[in-house]
Structures are given as C-alpha cells and as structure tokens.
A and B are shown apart, each in its own frame.
Chain A
Amino acid sequence: MKLLYFAWVRERIGKADEEVEAPAHVRTVADLVGWLSGRGEQYAYAFENPKVIRAAIDRAHVRADTALAGAHEIAFFPPMTGG
C-alpha cells in the first residue's frame, strides 16, 4: 500500500510518501500506526501522540479503528488548519 504524510507528520518522518508491505496482523489504521512507530525513531516521533493523528483511506477521512482491507492509499496528517 502507498502511504502519504503531510505537514509535521511528513517533516518528522522525513519523507512525503512511501510504499510499504505491512504484516498480516496489521488490520486497522491504529494497527498501522503502531507498526510504523516501531520502524525507527522518526516514525516514533511522528506518531508519539496517536490521538492527534488524523488518517484518510483512499482520500476519505477515517477513524483509527477502520479496517485497512482493500486500501490503496493511506494518508496520515495532523488536525487540519485550512480556510
């Protein structure tokens, strides 16, 4: 699956996007955040407070307990500050 990062999540991780193959036990958005957090210091820093992290699957907002099944593009970002 393709992962996208925006704003300070992108800055902390140090890249805007990447392709990953998550292990089978990673079933939800929250599982993915947990798995990514174990991939290195920069990920742990980006996801240190999972409550403030927002996620989108295939360009639509989702909650942390949403299943990843069938997802092509998953984005992680801070609360939005547009307008």
Chain B
Amino acid sequence: MMRTIRLQREDFDAGAEQAALARGRPDIGALVAFTGICRGDGISAMTLEHYPGMAEEEIARHVEEAERRWSLKGVTIIHRFGRLVPGDNIVLVVTASAHRAAAFAAAEFLMDYLKTQAPFWKREERGDSASWVDAKAADDQAAERWNRRADAAE
C-alpha cells in the first residue's frame, strides 16, 4: 500500500495529491478525499501546535489500523501546523481502494482519530484575545463509535 504522511507549515494541493496517489494504479477504483478548512466564524486566525515526532507516529499507527480494517490501496495524510487564517487548508486525508465502501469508511475513521488522538492543539484568535480550543465531546463520540464497531466485529 502506498502511504504518505506529512506534517508541514506550507499549504497543499488536494488535487495534485489525489492525482499522485492514483497515477499509474489501475487497481484503484475509488478515491475519497477530505479537506479540512479553517472556518471564519468569528476568528481572525488560528495557530496549530503539534508534538513533532509523536504526531507522525500516532498518525502512522492509525493508518496501520485502517489498513487492518479495510482493503486499502493507498493513504495520503497531510496536516498543517503554524498560523492559519480563515479559508486556509488545515488537513487532507485521501484514501484509495478498489471499491468505494472501504475508501469512504477509512477516510472517516482516519479523520475521527486525527481529531481526538493526533497530538495537535488549536489556538484561536478573536479580536485582541486568543484562546485554546476546547476538545468537543462530539469528536470523542465520533472516534469512540469505531471502537464499538470493532467490538461488534469480534
């Protein structure tokens, strides 16, 4: 399986990443891409802090878990850090498989885990003040449901 994991300050080109993953791969019949974008609801900017080293390893562990659960042909994950403004890309998840079900499910699984388990922290700027974003219970629940599914499958 082709696996690309990158953490970077720079922007990414979602279309180019998808093309790179699928190029010359007639075994790929489905490709799902999710792009997370910095929303502008009241914030002027957002700074993403991360734990270098662990972030890459933690993402790799979840990609390996996705490979165990679904038959995947390729995964690309790019997560940005540093200061971003509304409209900027934050994260890209691309999954490729022979048929669509695996690619859709794996992309959702990977995003749910990135939100709650990858060591990144968002700090939002609103006017003159800045504050750390609180973790959302809804995100924990979204990640937790994959554990329940694993239990059910055993």
Binding site for B on A (CB under 8 A): 4, 6-8, 56, 59-61, 75, 77-83
Q: For the complex, give the distance between the alpha carbons of A48 and B91 in Å.
A: 32
Q: For the complex, give the distance between the alpha carbons of A82 and B46 in Å.
A: 12
Contact A82/B51 with A6-B119, A7-B132, A77-B121 known, Cβ cut-off 8 Å: no
Stretch at the interface among B24-32, B96-104, B110-118: B110-118
Q: For the complex, give the distance between the alpha carbons of A77 and B50 in Å.
A: 10
Closest CB of chain A to B17's CB: distance in Å? 17
Majority secondary structure, B binding face:
mixed
Q: For the complex, give the distance between the alpha carbons of A23 and B133 in Å.
A: 35
Among residues 56 to 98 in chain B, which have CB atoms less than 8 Å away from a CB atom of chain A? 57-58, 79, 90-91
Q: For the complex, give the distance between the alpha carbons of A23 and B58 in Å.
A: 30
Give 10 new A-B contacts, CB below 8 A, not counting A80-B121, A82-B114.
Answer: A7-B49, A8-B132, A59-B58, A61-B117, A75-B54, A78-B121, A80-B115, A80-B116, A82-B50, A83-B79
Q: Which of A4, A60, A79 contacts B135 (CB 8 A)?
A: A79
Chain A residue at minimum C-beta to C-beta distance from B53: A59
